Structure 1
Amino acid sequence: MPVTTLGGHQVHVNEEGFLTDPAEWDDELAAVLAQQIGLELTDEHRTVLTFLRDDFAQRGETATLRRAAAGSGVPVKDLFRLFPQKPAKKMAYVAGLPKPVGCV
């Protein structure tokens, strides 16, 4: 797996730029990843990211958009506002998790 440096962090990524080791992620890196896709993290973003990371730790897979909405308490329409266009893919990217199954 390729290694890249993001915000002073050396991380392992796949060909699409997703982290391949979720343990390399931290809050500072989340801000760097968000900035790369044109987002500035707010508390609302962080609520979703916290749910995604906790859910991944329990289930071993990245939550779908619906599961993220239900589990985080942030409605789907707000996920589209927070992570415009491809929210599931962008949420996973910023959370340092694999792209959800079925995500293009």
Structure 2
Amino acid sequence: MHMHTNLQRSVRVNGRDIATDSEGYLRNLQDWSEDFARALAREENLTLTDEHWEVIRFLREHYQQHGVQAQVRVMIRHFTQAWGPQRGSNHHLHELFPVGGPQKQGNRLAGLLRTKGEH
């Protein structure tokens, strides 16, 4: 059985503690900033490159337009067009976001909510 413990965590951003859940998802979406993404990435031992930022921006824009998180296949379609088939592939997106893939880690860094289903 899968139990979600609602342990509070926080990420220190510019001297403020930003509340997240136990997995690092933001409690309040309006707390997001690029500095939050950088701080969380540092905790997850990820160095954010331009590619990461493009994915993060895409995820945020998609969420703002549609009110739901982008599914992985939507990301693959978008980035295959933007970057070509090699870099837009599922494999490459998972290499960019090794801790949970683009759907979990990408959304965490983009300050979006934990995804329902599709893991």
Tell me the residue number matched to 1:17. Answer: 24
CA RMSD of aligned residues (A): 2.1
Out of 35, 46, 51, the residue aligned to residue 44 of structure 1 is 51
The reply to whether residue 78 of structure 1 matches residue 92 of structure 2 is yes
Greater C-alpha Rg? 2
Question: 5 Å matches for 1:47-66?
Answer: 47-66=54-73
CA distance, structure 2, for counterparts of residue 95 and residue 76 of structure 1: 18
CA distance, structure 2, for counterparts of residue 9 and residue 54 of structure 1: 25
Tell me the residue number matched to 1:6. Answer: 12
Task: Write the letter of the residue equivalent to 2:90.
Answer: V
Out of 6, 29, 47, the residue aligned to residue 36 of structure 2 is 29
Structure having greater relative contact order (Cα 8 Å, sep ≥ 6): 1
**Contact 2:11–2:39 under 8 Å retained in 1:** no
Task: Give 3-state SS (helix, strand or coil) of 2:18's partner.
Answer: strand
CA distance, structure 2, for counterparts of residue 62 and residue 95 of structure 1: 10
Query: Taking structure 2 as the reference length, what is the TM-score of the superposition?
Result: 0.74
How many residue pairs get aligned? The number is 104
Task: Write the letter of the residue equivalent to 1:67.
Answer: V
**Contact 1:3–1:10 under 8 Å retained in 2:** no
Q: What 5-or-longer segments of structure 2 have no aligned partner?
A: 1-5, 83-87
Tell me the residue number matched to 2:85. Answer: none
Runs of 4+ in 1 over 6 A off after TM superposition: none
